[in-house]
Each structure stands twice: as C-alpha cells, then as structure tokens.
Amino acid sequence: MASEIEKAENSFVNIEPTELQVLAHYHKFEFLKQKILKQTEHFIMINNKPYIKRSGWQAIALAFNISTKITKEEREEKGKDFGYRIWVEARASNGRTAVGDGACFSNERTFAHVEHDVHAVAVTRATNRAISNIVGSGEVAVEELEVKK
C-alpha cells in the first residue's frame, strides 16, 4: 500500500503548469541571468546587440549546476580544408539533459594553431549550444556568428 508521501508525490505528476507559472519561471531565469552575467566579462556587443561569450555560458552552467561532456565527434576533410563536428551533452543536477552540436572548419578564418583551434571552436560552439538548450534560452552565442575572413 502506498504511503501518504507517495500518494502526495504521485498527485503532482500530471499537473500542467499554468501560464502564470511558466511566465514566472521565465522571468526568474531572466533575472538570474542579469545577476550572473557581467556586461564587460560575459558579453560582446556586435551591431549594438549583446551576445553571450563562452565565459558567460560557463557562468550559467556553474550557477545552474550543469555539467557537459563530448558524446561524439567527427573529423571531416573537404579538399585541402578540414573541420570537426562535435556533439555535447549538458546534464542538470535534476537529471535533465540536452544536446548541442557545433562545427568549425579550417577555412573559416586564420587560426594560430589550426588543428587545435578548429577543434576547440567546434567544442565551444557545441558546449554553448548544449547549455543554452538545457536552460531553454535559445540565444545565439557569439561563437555562432559567421566570421568573414
């Protein structure tokens, strides 16, 4: 026979959040984001629009106890150029997961350490996207923006 605690816990399983609850959670996230992220450290302005940098996504991951790990990576050759496609899983302490993917190719720009830097940018893009996906932000990180040579 189920205990009173189990009955109480099970009674909340199928409760749908109200619009007010959803809005409250969204506003709480936006408020926390303002408290966590610092304009000078975590953002870069492009065309008068702020974009979160890698350090900002790392701060969000730390604040929300989110861990990340690479789950898959592929190296791809395209003529004389190459690139990496990376998949990163973000995991919250409550067990929720989200995946982000990212890619970078050697012909995107001039790199100081081509092999390492192309891989690192792909990892950064995938990690930022995974963190953004798990917190439901949907924001584009600065590393996602197209950079012209």
Which pLDDT tens digits describe the chain residue by residue (149 residues)?
A: 556 656 555 555 556 778 888 888 788 888 888 888 887 788 888 888 888 889 999 999 999 899 999 999 999 998 999 999 999 999 999 899 999 999 999 999 999 999 999 999 999 999 999 999 998 766 665 666 654 44
- pLDDT for 2: 59
**CATH class, range 17-144:** alpha beta
- pLDDT for 40: 79
CA dist 59 and 66 (Å) reads: 10
12: left (phi over 0), alpha (psi -120 to 50) or beta: alpha
